[in-house]
Amino acid sequence: MSAASQARKRRPADDLSIVAFERGQHVSYSACGIPYLVAGDVSEPDDLVARRPEEFRERQRIDLRLSSTVVAIDTDRREVTVRGDGREYREPFDQLVIATGGVPARPDVPGADAQGIHGVQNLEDGIRLLSYLDAHGPRRAVVVGGGYIGLEMAEAMLRRGLDVTLVDAADQPMRTLDADMGGLVADALRAEGVTLRLGERLGGFDTRAGRVAAVRTSAGEIPADLVILGLGARPASGLARDAGIAIGETGGIRVDRRMRTSAEGVWAAGDCVENLHLVSQRPVAIALGTHANKQGRAAGINIGGGYATFPGVVGTAVTKICANEVARTGLSTAEAEAAGFAVYSVVTESTTRAGYFPGAKKIKIKIIAECTSGRLLGAQIVGQEGAAKRIDALAVALWHRMTVEEMTSLDLSYAPPFAPVWDPVLIAARKAAEALQSAS
């Protein structure tokens, strides 16, 4: 819908007719807000909706068709095949934007179709989960998968008063962090009351009367009245693949900086595409609303006759679990090594405000930098209030290939309610620069 809106802004309805197909009932909503809807922070599903279908239809004259699934793309005949309104039909196009999003991973294990096993990919999923919670009053929730969604859903379940167990096949939650920083997150989760079952592979689900009763893992059985799946998503690129459009090694649709696919006049944006990682210079598929929005905007501007690009990502992400803030950008140690960098790292602990200022919280920052050059390659933050958003300054530094030595001079804001006299980011850069000097 970002693409559609931007194209419409530049080309009025008498110049460009725009048709949008949506499989579900909702468009332009915050899927990232679903955990907070389930937790009760957000009272109504409608609160997550940025713009209602009528707004697109009436104000922007976009022919938005809900409950309509595109089942095929013909790039030669310039038409798509649509299933909707109880029929199948073809719709011609001059320009096409593929914005099919992601496919949540569903475990291929016995019992996976039982009642009480919920994904939380889209708003319908969230509404369904809320009804299940109201109807069945589950007491024991098992969250499978310790990524962003898994952790956010673990918090949501805690805040609704359920007993929460988190299962992950890895030895740490948040595999996008290094093990030591992931360990801090694990400690924080335990302190909040989550039972962690790490290093346990999912085996299946026991059911009773068609409803989930337990989760079986490689290490045993966990009683469960409710299971939340947070196993990640892969790009929904099947439709594009079937149409002969180039798919990258990550499984995402290949696009250039202007969001053009390999097919003339066919664009793609959102979780279905792969992006260039600007640090590793390799393709990555990162499902994130903010990238999707920017990509959609770029595609729409280009279709509208303007010029816009999405140059790539540096891998910034942030989340909050109860009072704990977690953020990362760039490459983890493992990612950096896989990309061929020789790296070292430094962890520093500091405070979010001047140490003497009321409300100062702990913040740990890990800096991952290139040996010899000291080039910043990645950063990870675990802390409390005021910690996470500091990742942005690091993300911009990363964008510009700064060295940790250069970063020590950055003019970051200082006042006692906001930072110690050396901001934690500067302390981290300084310690990383000093480590480099003493190594040389």
Residues serving a catalytic function are 32
Q: What are phi and psi of 273, to 5 degrees?
A: -105, 165
- 19 lies in the site for its own copies, by CB under 8 A: no
d(CA 179, CA 347) in angstroms, rounded, equals 12
Q: Quick one: which of 70, 239, 425, 436 contacts its own copies (CB under 8 A)? A: 425
Residues in 28-87 that interact with its own copies by CB under 8 A: 30, 32-33, 36, 41-42, 47-48
Q: Quick one: which of 294, 366, 375, 431 contacts its own copies (CB under 8 A)? A: 294
Q: Name residue 117's beta-bridge partners.
A: 227
Residue placing its CB nearer to its own copies in the complex, 345 or 408:
408
CB of 46 to its own copies, least distance (A): 10
**What is each CA distance from 323 to 152, 236, 317, in whole angstroms?**
12, 34, 17
Q: Which stretch binds its own copies (CB under 8 A): 65-73, 180-188, 319-327, 339-347?
A: 319-327
- 412 lies in the site for its own copies, by CB under 8 A: yes
CB of 328 to its own copies, least distance (A): 9
Residue placing its CB nearer to its own copies in the complex, 319 or 348:
319
Type of residue numbered 395: A
Query: Comparing C-alpha atoms, which of 366, 406, 404, 397 is closest to residue 383?
Result: 366
Element (H, E) at 238: helix 238-242
Residue placing its CB nearer to its own copies in the complex, 237 or 316:
316
- 322 lies in the site for its own copies, by CB under 8 A: no
Which token pair is 263? 């097919």
- 417 lies in the site for its own copies, by CB under 8 A: yes
Query: Comparing C-alpha atoms, which of 120, 123, 101, 121 is closest to residue 50?
Result: 123
CB of 393 to its own copies, least distance (A): 4
Number of residues in contact with its own copies, rule: CB under 8 A? 65
Residues in 323-342 that interact with its own copies by CB under 8 A: 325, 327, 329
d(CA 90, CA 83) in angstroms, rounded, equals 9
Q: Name residue 96's beta-bridge partners.
A: 266
- 3 lies in the site for its own copies, by CB under 8 A: no
CA quadruple 143, 144, 149, 152: dihedral, nearest 10: 20
Angle CA 62–260–96, to nearest 5: 30
What are the helix and strand counts (H, E) for the chain?
A: 13, 24
Type of residue numbered 359: G
Q: Which stretch binds its own copies (CB under 8 A): 68-76, 177-185, 229-237, 354-362?
A: 354-362
Binding site residues, its own copies, CB under 8 A:
30, 32-33, 36, 41-42, 47-48, 148, 278, 288-291, 293-294, 306, 309-311, 313-320, 325, 327, 329, 354, 356-358, 386, 388-393, 395-397, 399-400, 408-419, 421-423, 425-426, 437
